[in-house]
Structure 1
Amino acid sequence: MQQHLRSNPRSNPRTGDGTRAALYALCVGFFMIGLDATVVNVAIPAVRTSLHAGLDAMVWVNSAYALCYAVPLLLTGRLGDRFGPKRVFLAGLAGFTAASLACALAPTAGVLIAARAVQGLAAALIAPQAMAVIVHMFPAERRGRPLGVWSAVGALSMAAGPLVGGLAVATLGWRGIFLVNLPIGAAGWVAARRLVPDHRPAVRHRFDPLGIALSATGLFALVFAVQSGAHYDWGQVAGPVSITRLLVLAVVCLAAFVLWQHRNPREPLLPLRLFRDRDFTAASTAGAAMGCAMGGLFLPLMVYFQDTLGCTALQAGAATVPMFALSSLCARWAGRRADTVSPRLLAAAGFATTAAGLAALLLLLHPGVSLWTLLPPLLVCGIGIGGISAPLAGIATRSLRPGLTGAASGVFTTTRQLGGALGSAATGLILQSHPGGTTTTATQAALVFPVAALLAGLACCAAVRARPVAARA
């Protein structure tokens, strides 16, 4: 069913300045959910001591957020098509801010884990809507610049995470890493409420209960198994539940989900006609490859910096800040260029540059290496990373019908999140398979995986049709 959108004229910016203000209001929420994906890592030792928690519980402080963020994205993307992306975005931002307060006040590790899970669910409401609103606000031929800003904010949030976490823990204690979200979330909610255009569906969409159940079960089993497999030594989880059985359940449920989406006589949760668009399919697959590379890069690198080179957690995190700062700058440049230069070429150049920088990093690793020696290849990686996200998002959305923007945003975001979980699990498994997994040899072996993922993303770019950005299917 094709959907036409109507806008609330009171909240629809008419000027260029108003449109930019709406974009920046969206970016506040997007920055916050990106920040909370990384900010907690620095505070884990302080949280563990304060709450008298074990290492297993601390693992779940991060895993609960990541799991509840990734699993519902298909549904939350579709909610934007049903109720309008602004409404869902505001609900997610309010929920995320409230959950942040619950995290800050958590008296036990169990309460903290539950609040982090709610944070993840709220983040899943926010992420697809930001991309969907950008698609509604800007025509395809002018979408590169705002997507560049959106990508730059994502990179900036990753750069800020370790620094914000370290400063908050040093001045306010570990609860401060969540308290900083309260003024940010409140200001972001007010700004989005006033500035973001209210695109609402003129055609009422239906829900797909069976599709929701199958996709949620399959994605939960898949993400949990991939993310936690190493923790459980790829064996039993509890009682009859094992990682192998979870993977089998994931395959069965997701296969049944795809079959049901094909046969659904009404309105499916995931319109498979999205994948008839070669550009969308190629961009989403390349996004998954990018997620694999990023998820697979930082686990071995952070472990190597701390265990082999003797860095503190804050020093290890700070070593990546210049890379992400440069990535943020390059993302804005790539977004602007994507309106006039082929986004396929920009994304391909980004994948190739990142792969080259990572390969150089791999060759430079040795036990006595200085972090300053590793900075140039990390900066090359930052240049490449910055050139990927905005062109890929532009490719994925340039031919979409209005009624599919929410679903497409959900799929695009889901592939990135699943790719990240897979990349982290794969490199973790490679590290574990080497005796003395923090050695240079083990780290080099683990980093081969993200290089391979980047080359796969480069191959996906070759499948994108060469045509002007403004062309519509």
Structure 2
Amino acid sequence: MTDTAGAAGAGVRRPAVPRTAWTRLAVYTAIAALLQADGTIVAVALPSVGSAFDVSAGTAAWLMTTYFAVYAVGLFPGGRLVDRFGPGTVALAGLAVFCAGTLTGALAGSFGVLVGSRVLQGAGAGLASPAALAGAVSGFPAERRGTALGIWGAASGLSNLVGPLLGGVLTEVWGWRANWWALLPLGLAPAVCVLRWARLPAEARRPAAGAAESGQPPVPGAVVPGSGAPEPGPALPGGRPSMGAVRGASAVAALTFAVMIGSFYLVEQYLQHAAGYGVLRAALAPMVVAVCIGAAGPVAGRLTDRYGERLPAAAGFLACAAACAAYAVPGTAPHGLWLLPGGVLLGAGLGLLFPSTSRAALNSVPRGLHGRASSHLSFGRLTGAACGTALAGLAFHDGVTTGHLRTALTGGAALAATGAVAVLRWFRQAPAGGGAEG
């Protein structure tokens, strides 16, 4: 991975970003936020779904397992389709499938049909996710992508925290079906926006449409939308573009989401089972983390453009490690006012990590491979979230107690510290890619 510093750090005027690039960033960020929120919104409704269809908690969990499994499987073909046809076309296809599944779920008369709706939603998410990241930066030059990714990452991180609150309110007030009905307009709205504002002109017909619109020359190694033919670009022996830096960034993304989702799970379970919080109060508790992610993300993006990815990412992991370690100290517990210091540290750390990791991946390959790079990053996030939840669940296998919480958070601090070491090593030593303009 390259430690690419922005031109601003050298006193050089940074390249301008056209207004259309900011519009596309807003639309594709909304798609990414929707996909992140879907899992958490539905998760809150699982107990109500189980009661409605008379199925056990373990059986109801298939609604989550099915969605994420199909989502993960669809990412790699989705990324290749983005490189072949462009982000707008693939995003529209993914949102159409996602909305079809959402409507099916809202009208489901049996648990089997509901599971089938999650298959469709997962397939749609697998297409739309790589399109969302590739589309978000499609109008930004390499030196300014950190700024875009800071906004993109902040919105995605916020959605992971706002989702449970929204799902809790919908389930409490209108019942479990309200979660599916709410997802329908949330999926249709960005599809309309893609058609109206965010699709590259003649995306499937004109070469290098994104480069033409943003004022950038065609990118070496870029795949011309609609043709599948790459121009000459950085490659390994045999003509294959190097994806090693992207895989390293995917591993960093997995560590990030393992820490984030695992710590959220631990705290939520502790608040409800040991601290006596109700569902909605427990969902409100991590809002300090959401606020800090939202505040730190755009700042982190600008810092990444100015100084490169390595130091912001290492600082982010160290902040997450400090947050976990703070609650592992005897005499502390994550409830009441004690939530604030750790929440601020965790939110700031995650806000630093999101843009630096994505920028390291995207700037290491040509623009024509951004779809595949995005699919690797999304796969890393899903894998990390699954591992984080599984490890946190194992920590509470013998009961939700303060002692078990401290042990688990000690492990989380160690995992985050490992991430800091990893980015200092990987981001510095990886070979420079050809994606500086890509």
TM-score by length of 1: 0.77
Please state whether the residue corresponding to 1:413 is helix, strand or coil: helix
Deviation at 1:187, TM superposition (A): 1.7
Contact 1:34–1:154, Cα closer than 8 Å, also in 2: yes
Contact 2:66–2:122, Cα closer than 8 Å, also in 1: yes
Contact 2:76–2:375, Cα closer than 8 Å, also in 1: yes
Partner of 1:57: 59
The reply to whether residue 460 of structure 1 matches residue 422 of structure 2 is yes
Partner of 2:262: 296
1:166-245 paired onto structure 2 within 5 Å: 166-198=168-200, 199-200=203-204, 201-202=223-224, 204-205=227-228
Distance in 1, Cα, partners of 2:194 & 2:329: 46
Deviation at 1:449, TM superposition (A): 2.9
Match of 1:437 among 399, 405, 415: 399
Match of 2:412 among 430, 442, 450: 450
Distance in 2, Cα, partners of 1:45 & 1:130: 31
Deviation at 1:89, TM superposition (A): 0.7
In 2 relative to 1, CA 349–366 (structure 1 residues): closer, same or farther, beyond 3 Å? closer
Deviation at 1:390, TM superposition (A): 0.5
The reply to whether residue 418 of structure 1 matches residue 383 of structure 2 is yes
Deviation at 1:374, TM superposition (A): 2.3
Partner of 1:397: 362
The reply to whether residue 314 of structure 1 matches residue 280 of structure 2 is yes
Partner of 1:331: 297
In 2 relative to 1, CA 370–15 (structure 1 residues): closer, same or farther, beyond 3 Å? closer
Partner of 2:243: 274
Deviation at 1:18, TM superposition (A): 2.2
Partner of 1:219: none
Deviation at 1:409, TM superposition (A): 1.2
Deviation at 1:470, TM superposition (A): 8.8
Gaps of 5+ in 1: 1-13, 207-261
Please state whether the residue corresponding to 1:143 is helix, strand or coil: helix
Please state whether the residue corresponding to 2:396 is helix, strand or coil: helix
Match of 1:286 among 245, 252, 257: 252
Deviation at 1:381, TM superposition (A): 0.7
Amino acid at match of 1:400: V
Partner of 1:69: 71
Please state whether the residue corresponding to 2:29 is helix, strand or coil: helix
Distance in 1, Cα, partners of 2:417 & 2:197: 40
Deviation at 1:115, TM superposition (A): 0.7
Gaps of 5+ in 2: 1-15, 205-222, 230-235
In 2 relative to 1, CA 87–290 (structure 1 residues): closer, same or farther, beyond 3 Å? same
The reply to whether residue 153 of structure 1 matches residue 119 of structure 2 is no
In 2 relative to 1, CA 370–398 (structure 1 residues): closer, same or farther, beyond 3 Å? closer
Partner of 2:164: 162
Distance in 2, Cα, partners of 1:460 & 1:452: 12
Deviation at 1:15, TM superposition (A): 7.5
Deviation at 1:412, TM superposition (A): 1.6
Amino acid at match of 2:347: G
Please state whether the residue corresponding to 1:300 is helix, strand or coil: helix
TM-score by length of 2: 0.83
Deviation at 1:365, TM superposition (A): 6.5
- CA RMSD in angstroms comes to 2.7
Amino acid at match of 1:340: R
Please state whether the residue corresponding to 1:290 is helix, strand or coil: helix
Amino acid at match of 2:263: L
In 2 relative to 1, CA 90–41 (structure 1 residues): closer, same or farther, beyond 3 Å? same
Partner of 1:33: 35
Partner of 2:140: 138
Distance in 1, Cα, partners of 2:277 & 2:419: 32
1:231-270 paired onto structure 2 within 5 Å: none
Distance in 2, Cα, partners of 1:338 & 1:331: 10
Distance in 1, Cα, partners of 2:68 & 2:331: 30
In 2 relative to 1, CA 378–352 (structure 1 residues): closer, same or farther, beyond 3 Å? same
Amino acid at match of 1:328: G
Distance in 1, Cα, partners of 2:382 & 2:51: 30
Comparing 350-359 and 192-201, the one that deviates more: 192-201
